[in-house]
Amino acid sequence: MAPSVASFSAFVLAGLPLALGQFVKAPTNWTHATGYSDISVRYKEVPTGICELNSTVKSYSGYLDVDTNEHYFFWFFEARNQNPKDAPLTVWINGGPGSSSMIGLFQELGPCRVESNGTVVNNPYSWSESSNMIFIDQPAQVGFSYSTPVPGYTDPNSGSIVVLSNTTCPDYAEECGTYSYPNTTLTANSTAGVAPNFWKGLQGFMGAFPQYSRHEFNFATESYGGHYAPIINQYIEKQNDLIANNTLPKAHHINLKTVLIGNGWYDPLIQYQAYYNFTVFPGNTYDYKPFNESVSTMMYNALYGPGNCVDMTKDCYARGINSVCSFADNFCASNVENVLDVFALRDEYDIRELSPDPFPPTFYVDYLNSPMVQEAIGAYVNFSESNSAVSSAFGSTGDDDREDGTIEALKSLVHDNMTIVLYAGDADYNCNWLGGEVVAEEVNAPGFSTAGYTNITSADNVVHAQVKQSGKFSFVRVFESGHEVPFYQPLMSLEMFDRAIHGKDIATGRRTVKGGYKTSGSAKSTYREGNSTVQFEVVNATATYNTTLNEPDATSAKKSFKAANKRRLFKPAKSVVDLTS
Ligand SMILES: *[C@@H]1O[C@H](CO)[C@@H](O)[C@H](O)[C@H]1NC(C)=O
Ligand SMILES: *[C@@H]1O[C@H](CO)[C@@H](O)[C@H](O)[C@H]1NC(C)=O
Ligand SMILES: *[C@@H]1O[C@H](CO)[C@@H](O)[C@H](O)[C@H]1NC(C)=O
Ligand SMILES: *[C@@H]1O[C@H](CO)[C@@H](O)[C@H](O)[C@H]1NC(C)=O
Ligand SMILES: *[C@@H]1O[C@H](CO)[C@@H](O)[C@H](O)[C@H]1NC(C)=O
Ligand SMILES: *[C@@H]1O[C@H](CO)[C@@H](O)[C@H](O)[C@H]1NC(C)=O
Ligand SMILES: *[C@@H]1O[C@H](CO)[C@@H](O)[C@H](O)[C@H]1NC(C)=O
Ligand SMILES: *[C@@H]1O[C@H](CO)[C@@H](O)[C@H](O)[C@H]1NC(C)=O
Ligand SMILES: *[C@@H]1O[C@H](CO)[C@@H](O)[C@H](O)[C@H]1NC(C)=O
Ligand SMILES: *[C@@H]1O[C@H](CO)[C@@H](O)[C@H](O)[C@H]1NC(C)=O
Ligand SMILES: *[C@@H]1O[C@H](CO)[C@@H](O)[C@H](O)[C@H]1NC(C)=O
Ligand SMILES: *[C@@H]1O[C@H](CO)[C@@H](O)[C@H](O)[C@H]1NC(C)=O
């Protein structure tokens, strides 16, 4: 029996993305496999104690070689408490664009968490309690994924990788390491651009591990995943059609059943406007008004004044020109979205906290940069949470300001009878629930407009969320939760996930959902938390978050204005969904 806690030496709170200056030794001793569609896969079995602490539950990591010089890192965990060969398979990806899926694994819903002293602890609310789970870093160069590994360093001012010609670390570089060569050609620059290689990655994994891929397939994501999920899954369905008529003889049908999207960025025209709604009118449910009259009218004008954010975004939608969309996005991000950061000094991902917000903690970044962990998982490059080459590739097409057909794609998935859950933590400003709710209405699933909000039951008898559901389509508003919902509401998140993938109603998990199922209740979700969990001082960087009280633990929360975490303060120019996911 594995010990419940694995020890790991502590490297606490270094301010830079790469905590340890080190070059990564190329991993060896791969097991090679050829997946479906001839995709090559290299993997290792990950030893017990590197995240999964139960020795009877297996874990594998490695690379899916989706294209010449494009290698996607994956980390797979068997389902717990059941025969994993009988369990469904779920993929989780983070957004960004450019954010690593290790964010979801280590801060949200994976089998473990890393504490401030580097100790790995079990996450009893891991989604692997219900499903086999695979986490994929994509597109190429994100997280542990790579094009080609090169020596380099991160420029602290721009966040860009600067390549070195050899492994001598010059004195002008604060810290050197091994990075993916930052070539914006060897990745994707748009939502449509990620779908083919993502599909190839799944083909690779499913062929290399058929024992974990026999049953249903589910797709879960957040944030920029509001773009990724609809488009990737529509692509998967189209590939399935080609497989059905023998156009792709080496490919494998992917048995897609469920799509879950947390705090998604779907439709910028709706969601840029929602920044005003969330802060000014009608406001959030925390009775918190961040702006005075003058700032409120400034934000309103930046949105609706002639030629401003709304007009520019409509122009982007109408003409679809890269420079128009890119310019519009930069304008909206700086003049609308960023008003919260500048005038209220608050965390866009959780309005209850001032910046720098210590939650969710980032101790796992140092863990993933330790040679011991990198060797165990076969990493070729050092780890960073967000990749600037990928975010600038997407920036060049203005993808963030485009709707990209996400709502039509969601409609097509509804038509294909997929279970779809759009959920949103209601303290997140970045991809806030007011905008998410309008998107859910626009999808216009049969019966949805006349369904009502009802409380979701939980094993702890606390109401953590409300749902409006019609047939297999639902919208969930999660109380007392920032952007990364499974961090703030772990029990409800696991229950919601488990109910969704088993075709049960989200509200109770007791009924099998059929076409005519519909929740009843009020048309709007009116519950108000009030301001008792809103913080009015910066929280200590080593504080812990209490998911029962929905605020920092009192003993850990001693306020500090000094414990500034540079990583959170430094924001790339276009900050929309870059930073966390
Ligand atoms: C190489 O991998 C095999 C099987 O995956 C394992 O049994 C062996 O111990 C590994 N060797 C080294 C040197 O890590
Ligand atoms: C380890 O996992 C196995 C298989 O899921 C399970 O039966 C067992 O109870 C787990 N052990 C612990 C200590 O959680
Ligand atoms: C790490 O901190 C936790 C409490 O957060 C404590 O239980 C554990 O013993 C510590 N481990 C080490 C190795 O210091
Ligand atoms: C490494 O590269 C630098 C800069 O190009 C050069 O000055 C130095 O001599 C090189 N060192 C070695 C050991 O090749
Ligand atoms: C980026 O990769 C492409 C495709 O391999 C190559 O043609 C191009 O020269 C590379 N660009 C740079 C700056 O290295
Ligand atoms: C985006 O990528 C596509 C496909 O690789 C390429 O044809 C296009 O030129 C790129 N767009 C920009 C603005 O770089
Ligand atoms: C297979 O289906 C696709 C689209 O559904 C169509 O474009 C293609 O022509 C079909 N091919 C064959 C061989 O029937
Ligand atoms: C979806 O479900 C409905 C009702 O159960 C059924 O009539 C329809 O054929 C299904 N559509 C697809 C694409 O499977
Ligand atoms: C924001 O408020 C305006 C005016 O009340 C309303 O028309 C719009 O639908 C709201 N949008 C969102 C995303 O809540
Ligand atoms: C739903 O939950 C909220 C929050 O706990 C509570 O105030 C309300 O009374 C509940 N409504 C019903 C119908 O149980
Ligand atoms: C919190 O809300 C209460 C009641 O709505 C209000 O009286 C109080 O001023 C608010 N506190 C702050 C700090 O905004
Ligand atoms: C932050 O919390 C740690 C651990 O509880 C404590 O040692 C430290 O003094 C606190 N810092 C401040 C500035 O309160």
Task: Tell me the pLDDT tens digit for each residue of 253-276.
Answer: 999 999 999 999 999 999 999 999
Q: Relative to the alpha carbon of 528, which ligand is closest?
A: 10
Q: Does any domain span residue 324?
A: no
Residues 106 and 30 in one domain: yes
Stretch among 18-27, 180-189, 358-367, 527-536 having the lowest mean pLDDT: 18-27
Band of residue 556 on the pLDDT scale cut at 50, 70, 90? low
Whether residue 502 lies in the annotated active site = no
Q: Is 274 near ligand 5, meaning CB less than 6 Å away? A: no
- Whether residue 254 contacts residue 202, with contact meaning beta carbons closer than 8 Å, is answered with yes
Higher pLDDT pick, 317 / 567 = 317
Report how far ligand 8's centroid is from the alpha carbon of 234 (Å). Answer: 17
Whether 248 and 370 share a structural domain: yes
- Decide if pLDDT at 313 tops 50: yes
Supply the pLDDT for residue 29: 94
User: Range of 465's domain?
Assistant: 415-501
Task: Check whether residue 494 and residue 369 sit in a common domain.
Answer: no
Q: What is the pTM of this model?
A: 0.93
Tell whether ligand 5 has an atom less than 6 A from the beta carbon of residue 185. yes
Domain assignment of residue 517, yes or no: no
Ligand 12 and 544: CB distance under 6 A: no
**Domain boundary at 501, 516, 533, which?**
501
CATH number at residue 447: 3.40.50.12670
In Å, how far are 111, 158, 338 from 332, measured between CA atoms?
37, 21, 8
The answer on 119 and 183 residing in a single domain is yes
For the chain, the residue count is 581
Q: Which ligand is nearest to the CA of 42?
A: 1
Residue 334 annotated in active site = no
Spatial CB neighbours of 482, under 8 Å, sequence gap ≥ 6? 347, 349, 350, 352, 353, 359, 425, 427, 428, 488
Residues 376 and 468 in one domain: no
Q: Is residue 580 part of a domain?
A: no
Same domain, 370 and 453: no
Establish if 496 belongs to a structural domain.
Answer: yes
Residue 17: pLDDT above 80?
no
Last residue of a domain, one of 474, 501, 528: 501
Q: Would 542 be classed as within a structural domain?
A: no
Atom of ligand 1 nearest to the CA of 31: 5
> In this structure, is residue 277 part of a structural domain?
no
Confirm or reject: Cβ of 397 under 6 Å from ligand 6.
yes
Q: 370 and 452 share a domain?
A: no
Q: Do 386 and 495 belong to one domain? A: no
428 is catalytic: yes
Ligand sitting nearest the alpha carbon of 266: 9
Separation of CA 10 and ligand 3 centre (Å): 10
Domain end marker among 479, 501, 523: 501
Question: Ligand 8: which of 417, 418, 420, 514 to mutate, most ligand atoms within 8 Å of CB?
Answer: 417
Give the pLDDT band (50/70/90) at residue 21.
low
Q: What is the DSSP string of 479-529?
A: SS--SSHHHHSHHHHHHHHHHHHTTB-TTTS-SB--TT-B--SBSS-----
Catalytic residue among 130, 223, 326, 391: 223
State the Cα–Cα distance between residues 132 and 509, nearest whole angstrom: 20
At residue 505, does pLDDT exceed 90?
yes
Same domain flag for 374 and 451 = no
Domain match, 104 and 178 both: yes
Structural domain contains residue 301: no
Mean pLDDT of 267-293: 98
> How does the average pLDDT of the chain come out, rounded?
92
Amino acid 24: pLDDT: 95
Q: Is 427 domain-assigned?
A: yes
What is the total count of domains within the chain? 2
376 and 488 belong to one structural domain: no
Name the residue of 263, 269, 273 whose CB sits within 8 Å of the most ligand 9 atoms, as the mutation to test its pocket.
273
Instruction: Give the model confidence (pLDDT) of 440-451 as tens digits.
Output: 999 999 999 999
Task: Exactly one of 347, 483, 578, 581 is catalytic; name it.
Answer: 483
Are 124 and 171 part of one and the same domain? Answer: yes
Q: Residue 195: give its domain's CATH number.
A: 3.40.50.1820
